[in-house]
A and B are shown apart, each in its own frame.
Chain A
Amino acid sequence: DAGVIQSPRHEVTEMGQEVTLRCKPISGHDYLFWYRQTMMRGLELLIYFNNNVPIDDSGMPEDRFSAKMPNASFSTLKIQPSEPRDSAVYFCASRRGQENEKLFFGSGTQLSVL
């Protein structure tokens, strides 16, 4: 079974540009999570979906961030316009079923906004 697949692996962009991060969860997993990791704040949950529906987006920092899950096998996290403080590693994770199940993480996208 393929794991959670994220693309791109690295993204370097200039301030003000739009950035789109992509995630393919593990087949059969009904929960999808987007996390951001920084040195200062550690691992922060941005948003999560259940059966393609956003359940909790309270972690999304501001309106510049948006996430979609058009189908069970694809999700995007978009930042428009990007700012240098958005530089971080963004992880996608998926899970099958309820809270006692472990999260499977993708390899992350290292985003640098110059």
Chain B
Amino acid sequence: AQKVTQAQTEISVVEKEDVTLDCVYETRDTTYYLFWYKQPPSGELVFLIRRNSFDEQNEISGRYSWNFQKSTSSFNFTITASQVVDSAVYFCALTSYGQNFVFGPGTRLSVLP
């Protein structure tokens, strides 16, 4: 069975600090896809990034960056110079052929002014 673990339930940082959200996954498939979603206080789920298992290049998008390491089955998400608007619940998710999306439990990030 596939599984996603986000060990950090809640994180609080002060604005402008860097913060890393951890995601560890389990799958027996060799081809799989990893995602991060953001759920701000308004409640909707917003797609942030998708990564396939054959692409281990790290990705940077503005203040956001993702570190994918197959050797440790991790897909961590870093926010640089955090802002109050980054406050949200962040979900890591995993899927593969014939499998449903499996979401982690989420990490609640609070960025304090």
Chain A residues with a Cβ under 8 A of chain B: 33, 42-43, 45, 48, 56, 89, 91, 93, 98-100, 102-108, 110
Q: Which listed residue (A33, A42, A89, A108) contacts B101, Cβ 8 A? A: A33
Docked Cα-Cα span, A46 to B53, in Å, equals 26
Dominant secondary structure at the A interface: strand
Q: Which listed residue (B44, B99, B106) contacts A99, Cβ 8 A? A: B99
List 20 extra interface pairs beyond A103-B35, A105-B45, CB under 8 A: A33-B101, A42-B105, A48-B100, A56-B100, A89-B43, A93-B45, A98-B97, A99-B33, A99-B95, A99-B96, A99-B99, A100-B33, A100-B50, A102-B35, A102-B50, A103-B45, A105-B46, A108-B43, A108-B44, A110-B43
